[in-house]
Amino acid sequence: MRKIKNILRRIRLVYRPSLPVLKLVVLVMVVVCTVTLVILGAAIHTGQKRNQEDLQRLEILQQENRELTRRIGEIGSVQSVVRIAREELGLENPDAVIFEPVETTEATEPTETEPPETEPPQPESFLLTFTGDCTFGGTPARVNAETGFLKVVGDNYDYPFQNVRQYFENDDYTLINLEQAMGDKGYPVDKKWTFRGPAEYTQVMTGSSVEFVTIANNHSYDFGKEGYEQTREILEEAGIVYTESYKSVTVTTGRGLTIAIYAVDASLSAMDKEQMVTDITQLKESGVEVIIAAFHWGYENNFRSNSAQQELGKAAIDAGANIVWGHHPHVLQPIEEYNGGIIYYSLGNFAFGGNSVPKDHDTAVLQQEIIREPDGSIHLGKLTIIPCSVSSIKERNNFQPTPYEEGSEEYKRVLSKLDGTYGGPNLAIG
């Protein structure tokens, strides 16, 4: 036992042991002492020779064993260990202590943790942008006019949508009514107004994130069938999606919303309601998520929808359309919510090269939110209206649609035309 203590006194540790290691060392010492006692006791029990020296040794061992046992109970902190070491080694200088206090963390039993909560699926939001009539060109008589579209815009393809481009770029899909022929083929038909623009003006659309045009209107055939076919070819070459009268096209947006756009030109003859309802019903049954009905209809220069528009618009919604998007009157008409869908009766003119001095400058950009619920169901969300002028100047049309200042008289006037409270007279046709 003395040898064990002497060995411990001579140890000079160059590291800092943890409390569990110290306890283990002391436990070993106790075990050694106990074994020694057992051996000596057995020797005494068997009648081996006892002498005074053995008895004294036994008594000393018993005392040391009791002392070690007592001190084991005292070891509850690093400070106790330091005190015991100081007593054993007879060190008075604290700096000479071989054990320095260190913070220790008691081991704990591993606990079972709850699995992290899974966030419930959230609805997805998509944004579709709609405008009114666009003509990137003009009549043959005004090709070289200083205030005509070709002279004003020239080859600055960013110019027409410069002040509204941010709305087109920050949505999922932008749709316009292309009211003209494109290219240089064909001859003007016998009518008062014929509109056409060069093929290069597709860059007005592609450069401003316009993805779709409807050509189901009364100006697509302004240069006959030859001009119409060339228009289709030019749009296809530019990668611009389009649809024709009593036809539809299905697209998938970049974020995965499937949209079917169905168009009818009812400006020259009454719409075939039965055919329209059948076509939209079939689109609904095909599983597309959103159906847009693009109708060219109504009376020109009238600020109010007529009974035929109302009947046909509601029939389209009942058949499965989510949005009815109207154009042709060249002025704004009210918006009506109906049976879970919405009808924009007319969005008026927009970037319209067909008229340098329009009687009415009011127009708007509509941004319709589409909500896809976690179960896959679709419904309409918020409608955002951006009241605009067809021009960035007041004296004439410079073919650059520009938002009105929020809260201005013009801004409020646009809202009144769209909510049906506008009381002004209809415009004369001419």
Instruction: Check whether 46 has a pLDDT greater than 60.
Output: no
* Contact status, residue 91 vs residue 334, Cβ threshold 8 Å: no
Instruction: Check whether 162 has a pLDDT greater than 60.
Output: yes
- Mean pLDDT taken over the chain: 85
Question: What's the CATH number for 124-419?
Answer: 3.60.21.10
pLDDT at 26: 47
201 versus 75: the higher-pLDDT residue is 201
Q: Model confidence at 55, in pLDDT bands (50, 70, 90)?
A: low
Instruction: Check whether 244 has a pLDDT greater than 50.
Output: yes
Percent of the chain with pLDDT over 90: 70
Nearest to 316 by CA among 286, 287, 279, 350: 279
pLDDT at 25: 45
* Distance in angstroms (rounded) separating the CA atoms of residues 93 and 233: 99
- pLDDT tens digits, 291-344: 999 999 999 999 999 999 999 999 999 999 999 999 999 999 999 999 999 999
pLDDT at 180: 98
Across the range 51-75, mean pLDDT stands at 62
* Contact status, residue 369 vs residue 407, Cβ threshold 8 Å: no
- pLDDT tens digits, 399-430: 999 999 999 999 999 999 999 999 999 998 75
Helix extents (H) in 144-265: 149-153, 165-169, 202-206, 224-238
Q: Which pair of structure tokens corresponds to residue 40?
A: 């000596």
pLDDT at 88: 52
Q: Report the range of poorest mean pLDDT among 9-13, 147-151, 269-273, 395-399.
A: 9-13
- pLDDT tens digits, 254-289: 999 999 999 999 998 999 999 999 999 999 999 999
C-alpha gyration radius of the chain? 45
- pLDDT tens digits, 330-360: 999 999 999 999 999 999 999 999 999 999 9
Classify each residue of 181-214 as buried b or exposed e, where b means 16 or more C-beta atoms within 10 Å of its C-beta.
bbbebbebeeeeebbbbebebbebbeebbbbbbb
3-state helix, strand, coil in the chain (%, to 5): 35, 25, 45
353 versus 36: the higher-pLDDT residue is 353
- CA quadruple 84, 87, 90, 96: dihedral sign: positive
Q: How many CB atoms lie within 10 A of CB 101?
A: 12
pLDDT at 118: 84
| Ordered DSSP codes for 284-301 | HHTT-SEEEEEEE-S-TT
Q: Model confidence at 86, in pLDDT bands (50, 70, 90)?
A: low
* DSSP-based three-state secondary structure for 100: coil
* Distance in angstroms (rounded) separating the CA atoms of residues 150 and 418: 31
pLDDT at 63: 72
Instruction: Write phi, then psi, for 19 (nearest 5 degrees).
Output: -60, -40
Instruction: Check whether 22 has a pLDDT greater than 50.
Output: no
- CA quadruple 193, 194, 198, 204: dihedral sign: positive
* Distance in angstroms (rounded) separating the CA atoms of residues 351 and 388: 11
pLDDT at 119: 87
Across the range 202-222, mean pLDDT stands at 98
**78-89 and 19-45 helices cross at what angle (nearest 10)?**
50
pLDDT at 68: 55
Across the range 220-229, mean pLDDT stands at 98
Question: For the whole model, what pTM was predicted?
Answer: 0.74
Cα separations (Å) of 407 from 333, 413, 415?
A: 20, 10, 10
80 versus 190: the higher-pLDDT residue is 190
Instruction: Check whether 242 has a pLDDT greater than 90.
Output: yes
Q: Report the range of poorest mean pLDDT among 22-31, 45-54, 199-208, 408-417.
A: 22-31
* Distance in angstroms (rounded) separating the CA atoms of residues 225 and 218: 13
* Distance in angstroms (rounded) separating the CA atoms of residues 208 and 266: 29
